[in-house]
């Protein structure tokens, strides 16, 4: 059996209890070495074989899984954050299906949640934005034109931009072409929940220089939107004048 496990955003105790138990019990771990905190490997039992997928191709990863299956060994495939975002799990699952190898997927805390926590922020503030766009700049992996940052920026909603720390001049340009003001609030969160976490506030037009000044070149999220500002409305749910299924409004 192959267990795809979300490792969480960094801190070793932000993996789920189910994920941690699987790490403790498994015979083989294949982890995404470029981003998974190596401290998580300390959960592994003595004798567990550990592979760093940063140095492997898809075929090599699948070969390790195939070999494990032939020996009735358990494998944990450890992905950073939650594997459903930029995790390249689908291609693994499809090959496992072809081989008739069983798998399951254990969710993890994504770095976009880790970044919100680092900022003490709420992405969905009433009166500001009720939607979060999770996206990236096109890099070596293309992004469909209708999903460009410029297009999403037209919605003026909360945006969380992955995998784009090396392209911040372009990110700023796209955001402003889409309609964000140059002085709209933005933030960069580097290595959210890691001991070396950095949180820096800036504006849409100063993303690149802010990253440069703070020596941030990778492993960061770019956050943009009014949720980083001061204005919002109180929630209806906790409004004393609002009746819900569980509570009568006071007069
Ligand atoms: N599946 C992962 C994302 C993998 S893509 C998740 O759910 O978080 C890798 C990108 O995620 C990095 O380039 C960076 O943009 C972001 N990232 C991953 N961990 C991060 C962290 N702890 N802090 C900030 N950004 C992070």
Ligand 1 pocket, 161 CB below 6 A? no
DSSP-derived 3-state class of residue 3: strand
Ligand 1 atom nearest the C-alpha of 193 is 22
DSSP-derived 3-state class of residue 15: coil
Give me ligand 1 centre to Cα 115, in Å: 9
Give me ligand 1 centre to Cα 128, in Å: 25
Ligand 1 atom nearest the C-alpha of 136 is 15
Q: How far apart are CA 140 and CA 148, in angstroms?
A: 15
Protein residue closest via CA to atom 25 of ligand 1: 220
CB contact at 8 A, 132 and 31: no
Output the six-digit token pair for 11: 């801190």
**19: CB partners within 8 A, 6+ apart:** 5, 6, 7, 8, 106, 108
pLDDT value for 250: 84
Ligand 1 pocket, 185 CB below 6 A? no
pLDDT value for 139: 86
CB contact at 8 A, 211 and 217: yes
pLDDT value for 251: 67
Ligand 1 pocket, 221 CB below 6 A? yes
Question: In this predicted model, what pLDDT tens digit does every residue of 74-129 receive, in sequence order?
Answer: 999 999 999 999 999 999 999 999 999 999 999 999 999 999 999 999 999 999 99
Protein residue closest via CA to atom 13 of ligand 1: 163
Beta bridge partners of 103: 2
**89: CB partners within 8 A, 6+ apart:** 4, 77, 79, 83, 105
pLDDT value for 237: 87
Give the pTM: 0.96
pLDDT value for 140: 87
Query: Which DSSP category does 248 fall into?
Result: P
Residues of the chain with pLDDT under 50: none
Q: How far apart are CA 59 and CA 54, in angstroms?
A: 13
pLDDT value for 128: 97
């Amino acid at each position: 059996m192959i267990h795809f496990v979300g490792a969480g955003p960094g801190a070793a105790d932000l993996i789920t209890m189910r994920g941690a138990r699987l790490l403790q019990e498994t015979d083989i771990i294949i982890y995404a070495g470029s981003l998974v905190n190596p401290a998580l490997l300390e959960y592994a039992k003595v004798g567990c074989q550990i592979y760093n997928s940063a140095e492997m191709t898809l075929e090599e990863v699948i070969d390790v899984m195939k070999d494990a299956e032939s020996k009735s060994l358990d494998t944990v495939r450890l992905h950073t954050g939650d594997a459903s975002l930029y995790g390249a799990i689908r291609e693994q699952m499809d090959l496992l299906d072809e081989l008739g190898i069983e798998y399951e997927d254990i969710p993890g805390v994504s770095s976009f949640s880790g970044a919100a926590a680092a900022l003490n922020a709420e992405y969905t503030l009433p009166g500001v934005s009720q939607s979060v766009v999770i996206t990236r700049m096109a890099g070596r992996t293309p992004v469909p034109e209708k999903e460009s940052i410029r297009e999403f920026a037209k919605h003026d909603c909360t945006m969380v931009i992955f995998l784009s720390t090396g392209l911040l001049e372009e990110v700023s340009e796209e955001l402003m072409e889409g309609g964000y003001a140059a002085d709209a609030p933005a933030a960069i969160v580097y290595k959210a929940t890691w001991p070396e976490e950095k949180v820096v506030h800036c504006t849409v037009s100063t993303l690149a220089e802010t990253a440069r000044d703070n020596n941030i070149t990778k492993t960061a999220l770019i956050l943009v939107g009014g949720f980083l500002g001061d204005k919002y409305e109180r929630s209806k749910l906790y409004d004393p004048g609002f009746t819900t299924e569980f509570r009568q409004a006071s007069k």
